[in-house]
Structure 1
Amino acid sequence: MTLTSRRVFVKGLKVEAGIGIYDHEHGRVQPLIIDAVFDLDLHEIHGLKDTLNYELVGQIAREFIARGHIKLVETLAEDMARTLVALPHVRRVEVSVIKPEALSDADQAGVCVVFTRD
Structure 2
Amino acid sequence: MMYAPDAERGRRVVFVRGLDLMARLGIHPHEKAAPQRIRVDIELLVQDEAAPTDIGPDDFRRVVDYQRLVELARSVVTAGHVLLVETLAERLAAAALADARVERARVTVEKPDAFQDVSGVGVVVERRRS
Per the normalisation by structure 1, the TM-score is 0.89
Aligned to 1:3: 7
Name stretches of at least 5 consecutive residues in structure 1 with no aligned partner.
none
Aligned to 1:95: 107
Aligned length: 117
Q: Deviations over 1:23-49 (max 9, x none)?
A: 111121111111011111141254221
Rounded to whole Å, the distance in 2 between the matches of 1:19 and 1:103 is 15
Q: Superposition RMSD on alpha carbons, in Å?
A: 1.6
Q: Map 1:19-58 onto structure 2 (within 5 A).
A: 19-44=25-50, 46-58=58-70
Secondary structure of 1:32's match?
strand
Q: Could you tell me which amino acid in structure 1 is paired with residue 103 of structure 2?
A: R
> Which is further off, 50-59 or 74-83?
50-59
Rounded to whole Å, the distance in 2 between the matches of 1:20 and 1:57 is 24
Match of 2:118 among 77, 81, 106: 106
8 A contact 2:24–2:78 mirrored in 1: no
Rounded to whole Å, the distance in 2 between the matches of 1:61 and 1:10 is 10
Aligned to 1:117: 129
Q: Deviations over 1:36-88 (max 9, x none)?
A: 11111141254221111112232222222332211111111001101101213
8 A contact 1:52–1:88 mirrored in 2: no
Q: CA deviation at 1:103?
A: 2.0
Q: CA deviation at 1:21?
A: 0.4
Rounded to whole Å, the distance in 2 between the matches of 1:38 and 1:66 is 21
Rounded to whole Å, the distance in 1 between the matches of 2:77 and 2:43 is 20
Aligned pair 1:84/2:96, yes or no? yes
The percentage of aligned residue pairs carrying the same residue is: 33
Name stretches of at least 5 consecutive residues in structure 2 with no aligned partner.
1-5, 52-57
| Larger Cα-atom Rg | 2
8 A contact 2:48–2:62 mirrored in 1: no
